[in-house]
Amino acid sequence: MYLKNGDIQPEQQYSVLMSSSDCEELKMVARELAPLVMVHDLNSPEEARELLDKTRPDLIILEFNWPGSAVLDLCAELRLDERYQWAPIFFLSSEADPDKKLEGYAAGADLFITRPFHPKELSALVQAAINRLKGLRANAIRDHLTGIFSRKYFMERLDEEVHHYQRKGKPFTVVMIDLDWFKLVNDQLGHMSGDYVLAFFSTFLRKHLRHTDVLARYGGEEFVLLMPDTETSTARAILERLSESWLSTPLVEPYYQKKLTVTFSAGAAEFGSNIFNAHDLILAADKALYAAKDAGRNRTFSIDQLNELPEIQTPMILVVDDSSLIRHLLEKQLSEKGYRVATAGDGHEALELTKEIQPCLALVDLVMPGMDGLELTRKLRENPKTMSIKVIALTADHLEETLLEAFHAGVDDYMNKPFSFPELEARIQRLLKKKFLEKGLISPRPDDRLSQE
């Protein structure tokens, strides 16, 4: 059975695997079931096993009169296979021996159909069984809050995609998606608001993803996406476009009428690119996800990028000061310590730089012409792409009011001028360690992390 974006498609063609010792009988049944049901015919248990590995029928009809216990063995095997554990299985038989029927039911059969039978009757039985299974399965494979697929169903589909790769060699990608700072929605607005955001985000993704993609809720605010026939480069491009579209989509929770800005991070991994089982693929995508969070959130990384990401291997520090002497001195000292350094002479220049680079931390002079350090910090905190940058204020003002205003603007720490470089470096290391240990945990100042209006 196939589903599109979590919805049963009533016009979708279903699949029946049928074996019969009578070719004319099979043709009559196929005509009765067409066009909604496609019938695959087979002539032996071996042929059935081969076809079952290639397709996933919604219902199976087996010839009971195969030699020996072949059909009973096959039926028992199917009931041990998670893919067919709940699939309806009918037996066609030319005899009505009650003992034989009991053997069949014990092996896992759902129904015995004794010849002669009317094709319309079998067609009605097949349709009824598929409709019942369709309803039960649709309910079982969905996450009740969001309406998207459940984690269990996703893992089943992932296993199928692995088997498909082993046969065809076609690439596919798994993406882990996590809403940034989502716990703050629950903490500040309550779980009903949090549930609304999860459902709203799920609806957004279902609307914008391709019909071949399989989206599921992995747990909490984490989602997982299976993208068949897709390389990681394509997956990243799709996720980046989704991120831009999501940020431009108005999100107003209905209980307090708060306009929210909630971003998401994503990590992608491609099967077959040094990854050859489903477990390792999920782990790799999850690792890429946390790298995206470490690098500032609101972005997508793939596992193959991690060794090439200088912002993870060597943190970048942005120095913002109107004094060229201080900029040059700090750039020299920080570079000698192994940091990558970018400099700006005022707040406007610094904001423009953050469109091109992703600093982990900024050293910001509070008093500058044009846009000063306080306004710059506020701007950084307002933008989802820069809100996680750690900020150390550099100031010659020792007034308590100035420091309180700086912390209120979103500064993480401060240093009085003139300052000791060893002390400054210690503060930088402390904040960077905190940043990379957070990995999605809550900031000590949550009001700076959830944008509301």
Q: Residue 397 — pLDDT band, cuts 50, 70, 90? A: confident
For 156-178, how does the pLDDT look when each residue is reduced to its tens digit (9 = 90+)? 899 989 988 988 888 999 999 99
Q: Percentage of the chain with pLDDT > 70?
A: 89
Mean pLDDT of 96-125: 89
The phi, psi pair for 98, rounded to 5°, reads: -60, -35
Tell me the HSE value of 113 on the side-chain side, using a 13 A CA sphere: 24
Name the residue with higher pLDDT: 26 or 127. 127
User: By the 8 A CB rule, do 307 and 352 touch?
Assistant: no
User: By the 8 A CB rule, do 77 and 53 touch?
Assistant: no
Dihedral Cα 419, 421, 423, 426, nearest 10 deg: 140
Per-residue pLDDT, 307? 63
CA nearest neighbour of 59 among 142, 160, 127, 2:
127
Checking if the pLDDT of 49 tops 80, the result is: yes
Q: Residue 3 — pLDDT band, cuts 50, 70, 90? A: very low
Helix axes 70-80, 45-54, angle to 10 degrees: 20
Mean pLDDT of 98-107: 92
Per-residue pLDDT, 429? 86
CA nearest neighbour of 315 among 444, 429, 443, 441:
429
Among 128-137, 175-184, 251-260, 328-337, the range scoring the smallest mean pLDDT is 128-137
Eight-state DSSP code of residue 301? E
Q: Residue 436 — pLDDT band, cuts 50, 70, 90? A: low
User: By the 8 A CB rule, do 220 and 180 touch?
Assistant: no
Average pLDDT across the chain, whole number: 85
Checking if the pLDDT of 350 tops 90, the result is: yes
User: By the 8 A CB rule, do 236 and 230 touch?
Assistant: no
Mean pLDDT of 210-220: 94
Per-residue pLDDT, 358? 80
Per-residue pLDDT, 39? 66
pTM: 0.56
Per-residue pLDDT, 196? 96
Q: What's the N-to-C CA distance of the chain in angstroms?
A: 45
User: By the 8 A CB rule, do 99 and 92 touch?
Assistant: no
Checking if the pLDDT of 12 tops 60, the result is: no
* C-alpha to C-alpha distance for 85 and 430, rounded to whole angstroms: 54
Tokens, residue 72 = 């009973």
Checking if the pLDDT of 200 tops 80, the result is: yes
For 231-279, how does the pLDDT look when each residue is reduced to its tens digit (9 = 90+)? 999 999 999 999 999 999 999 999 999 899 899 999 999 998 789 899 9
User: By the 8 A CB rule, do 392 and 428 touch?
Assistant: yes
Q: Residue 447 — pLDDT band, cuts 50, 70, 90? A: very low
* C-alpha to C-alpha distance for 265 and 291, rounded to whole angstroms: 9
Per-residue pLDDT, 446? 31
Most confident of 80-84, 184-188, 282-286: 282-286
